[in-house]
Amino acid sequence: MNRQDAKIEPRFEIDEWARLVIGAAIEVHKHLGPGYLESVYEEALAMEFNLRSVPFERQKPINVTYKGQPVGESRLDFLVDGCLIVELKAVEAFAPVHQAQVISYLKAMNLQLGLLINFNVPILKDGIKRVVLT
């Protein structure tokens, strides 16, 4: 493996937040199951984060720039502790554009780790994708 192919793993603290977020998402999925709109899961996950004292910003605006100039704005579903992006979906299956979205957000925010969580699955662990910006 050459140096460019080496994966740079996020700091331990970021992985710890990811573990806590996944636990909260599993709890939400356990109670709600699949089949609801993304907004329902977002509301429930925000409640679960509060119950677990997970610091977060919801629908966090991010500025999109092109060659140093602002060209628009996007929104993160959740930014946990200023270091972890959490993007929620309620879709039949992840599409390549979903991972590309998280990678774009990571680049725009200069962050390393994002979680892509699809609640529309029978077993939530099958709907979680860890996205690392290398």
Q: How many CA atoms lie within 13 A of 121 on its CB side?
A: 16
For the segment 76-88, what is each residue's pLDDT rounded down to a tens digit?
A: 999 999 999 999 9
For the segment 14-41, what is each residue's pLDDT rounded down to a tens digit?
A: 999 999 999 999 999 999 999 999 999 9
In the predicted model, what is the mean pLDDT of residues 105-113?
Answer: 95
Top pLDDT among 96 and 9 is at: 96
H-run or E-run covering 99 = helix 96-109
What's the CA gap between 14 and 17, in Å, rounded? 5
Find residue 74's DSSP bridge partners: 62
What's the CA gap between 8 and 51, in Å, rounded? 32
